[in-house]
Structure 1
C-alpha cells in the first residue's frame, strides 16, 4: 500500500467514524437530551473516546453537526418566507417551525440560544446563515410596523428558545408561545 492509498483509507475510515458518531449522537440526544454523556455516544458508535474528540472536540461541535440539517431547513424556510405577502404571518410561521424543530432533543433550544449568543461557539458558526435569514425576516416585520421597535431579532430568538417545554413532547407548553407573539406586537 503506497502513501496515497493509505491516506485515502484513513480518510474513508475517518468519514465512517464521523457518520457513526453523528448517528449515535442523534440517537443518544433523542433519548437523553443534549446533556447526555458523550461516552455513550462513542460507545454506540463503536469508537473510542479519542476518536470522538478528534472528530468533535467539544459537545458543541457534535451538537452543531447533528443540527446541521435542521439549521439548513430553518434557513431555507426563512429565505422562502421573505417573499410571503404578509410579513407578520411569515415571522410567526418561522417562529413556530423553529419551536417545533426544537422538540427533537431535550435541551436543544437552550443549547442553540446559548451557542448563538456566543460568537466563538461552533453552534453560532453553524447557525450564522439561519440567524441572518431570520434577522431579515424579523427586520421585514419590524419595518412594516408589526413588531415592537425596541426588540431585536436575537432577543426574540432567545425568548422563544427559553420558553418552557413539555418534558414528554419537547414542544413549548401552551400558551407561552402565543403570549410571546402577542407581546412583541407594538
Structure 2
C-alpha cells in the first residue's frame, strides 16, 4: 500500500472508531469521510461496504476478546474465567451501539466480512464455558450459542436507557444462572469486570 493510501486508511479507521462510538454502527459514511478529510470515493476504495469498515474496525477488538479468553483459560478458575469473559464481552459489545445486531447477523452469514472474527470470538467463549462445565461449575444445558446470545442480549440492554444503570446487576444474574449452585458467588460476580 502506498504511503498516502496507508495514511488515509489509518485516518479513516481512527475517525470511524470515534464516529461509530458516538453514533453507533449506522453512522453516516459520508460523515466519516468528511471528518477524516477524504472524499467518499476514497472511503469506498478502502471499504467497499459498511460491513467491510466494521470488520476492519472490530477485528482487532474481536481478536483481543479471543486472546482474553485464552489468557483466562490458564490464569483463573473455570467459573471465574467464564464470568470475567462474560463481563468483558458485555463491556466490549456495549462500546458501539448497534454492534450486537451486526455480530448476530454475521454469525449466521458465512459471507459476512465479520463472520470469521465473530465465530472465532464465540468459540473462545465456548471453550471457557466447556471448561467450567467439565469442572462441574456451569450448567450443562447451556452451549456456546446460548452464551453468545445471552451476552449479546445483555450488551443490547446496556443501550436501553431504562435499564442501562442495572446492566452490572443483570450481568450478575445471568452469570449466576449459568453457574451451578455450588460455584455461585453472588456477592463477587460484579467484581469480575
Q: Is this a same-fold pair by TM over 0.5? A: yes
Measured in 1, the distance between the counterparts of 2:101 and 2:42 equals: 27
Q: Give SS of 1:89's match.
A: helix
> Does residue 185 of structure 1 match 2:179?
yes
- Segments of structure 1 that go 5 or more residues without pairing to the other structure are 1-9
Contact 1:148 1:184 in 2 (8 A): yes
Indicate the RMSD between aligned Cα atoms, in angstroms. Answer: 2.2
Matched length? 176
Measured in 1, the distance between the counterparts of 2:46 and 2:5 equals: 8
Q: Give SS of 2:167's match.
A: coil
**Partner residue of 2:143?**
152
**Partner residue of 1:7?**
none
Q: 1:147 to 1:118 in 2, by over 3 A?
A: farther
> Does residue 75 of structure 1 match 2:69?
no
State the Cα distance separating 1:54 from its structure 2 match: 2.0
- Segments of structure 2 that go 5 or more residues without pairing to the other structure are 181-193
Q: TM-score, normalised by structure 1?
A: 0.83
Measured in 2, the distance between the counterparts of 1:135 and 1:45 equals: 38
Matches within 5 A, 1:2-151: 11-151=2-142
Measured in 2, the distance between the counterparts of 1:118 and 1:143 equals: 30
State the Cα distance separating 1:172 from its structure 2 match: 6.7
Q: TM-score, normalised by structure 2?
A: 0.80
Measured in 2, the distance between the counterparts of 1:37 and 1:171 equals: 28
Larger Rg: 1
Contact 1:64 1:122 in 2 (8 A): yes
